[in-house]
Structure 1
Amino acid sequence: MTPDPVIRVRGLRKTYGGTLAVADLDLEVAAGEVVALLGPNGAGKTSTIEILEGHRDRDAGTVSVLGQDPAHAGLDWRAGIGIVTQDGADLAELTVQEAVRHFARYYPHPRHPDEVVELVGLTGKARARVRTLSGGQRRRLDVAIGVVGRPRLLFLDEPTTGFDPQARRQFWTLIRRLAHEEGVTILLTTHYLEEAEALAHRVAVLVAGRVVAEGTPTALGGRATARSVVIWADGRQETEDPAALVAELTRRYGGTVPGLSVSRPTLEDVYLDLIGAAS
């Protein structure tokens, strides 16, 4: 039997005044998956996440997270989820070690705080005050707080906004470790297409509160079967069989083909087409 999904959403709907933020959204996330929600500002990503976390009421639809409705779930349920919001709590005067120890006390069976500090790569900063951390280090602390309770499910809302490229890639390594070695199911929102491609098993594109496409990063929107573009010094051609064309060009030139490049649509290309068509 296929195990029940960690998240199951059917017909989710949320309005603010007369503005429809989430419109009959359907979504499933299986145990152990990393799923990225993509979409422009105002697409409904954060509202959806907050409803799944139990922090915002919905107007309609059914929602099951870890087998319970977040709107009515209790403390035992909350101990099974971890949350990393866009803006972390103000912990400026605590040390890293003190902050993690403080949040560990909220959970019945937390991980040892020192273990968590090591997990996120902050052992060298354990005695540093939070206000002295860099942006990337502070985000690692947010993740430490999010995972200290041994969550089965981790929500990450735009976790690397404002990171420099090096800090972003270090953060990706941490997320991969949580997913692949710790078995944590992760639902994240991001504006970085490269981030979704690097981390997610599956992506869902939201526009105006609806999922307009979902699939693996390599197959989204027919990307895996899209025609390739082959460019060389004397020409350019779209083809469904780039290997055959390159072989023909190699024979024609008697070896190396000058200026040769072969490309398929990038995830960004597909994403921009999807949100443009749905707007």
Structure 2
Amino acid sequence: MTWKYQAAIIGGGPAGLQAALTLGRMHVETVVFDDGRYRNASSSVMGNVLGWAGAEPAALRAAAHEELVAYPWVRRVPERVETAREDGSGLVLVTPSAQWSAERLLLASGVDDALLPIPGVRELWGDTVLPCPYCHGHEFAPGPIAVISDGGHAEHVGGLLRGLSSSVPVVAPADVLSVSRSATGVRIDLRDGGAIEAACAFIPPNARVRSGIADDLGIRSAPEGIEIDALGRTSRAGVWAAGDVAKRVDSRIPAAVVTAMASGLTAAADIAASVALVRDGRS
């Protein structure tokens, strides 16, 4: 069976859901594919999200799902898009249950974090080992707040955190033996036999594009994400990208819920404009 839509969105996180809301409000026939994988799933709460401080990420998604019910032009499908191809009139997306035809596509499939291969990091990820000072730093002031990183990332993050704590020990990943939960929050055992006690530790997330759909369609990307312009357009006409999967114009811009939502809205607005051009015969 093949279902046909004006727009398809791959990804049910903040970027994809905001885009779905924007398109729904413009009465664009839209399908959203959500495979249930979310980058912030390991975080117990969200920070730096206006009106949602301290809320669980799942609460935001649930509220979005409820809100989208009011827009019958939007359909949510809890499946993973396995492959994509062009068919001459648009795109064909293949899921385990069906094929879906879409005139336009927004990639908001998110990323996976290639965490530092240090024992204990994965177990504490999203709890006391964290990626974003803007999202979680305030909650751990006055510290100490540790940084396990080096190079420009360590300099940038360490500088930000010194505005929150007078104690910001910075240690290179190669010097860390393991991390573990402690009475202060986190204990960082060093290879030289020493240890650092801190409220939390920030590390580079080393994000990697999760979905292979961009490769299927020959879309230009970089290690930092899919390359886009200011409106979220990719190198392939008719395909946009938003959220963490899209390459940021500057690495200092945080990959956060709010920035993901903003990019989803921007891309969706351009998609809706393209639908209007075709409808009015102006394309």
Is TM more than 0.5 here?
no
Structure-2-length-normalised TM-score? 0.23
Structure number with larger C-alpha Rg: 1
Structure with more helix by fraction: 1
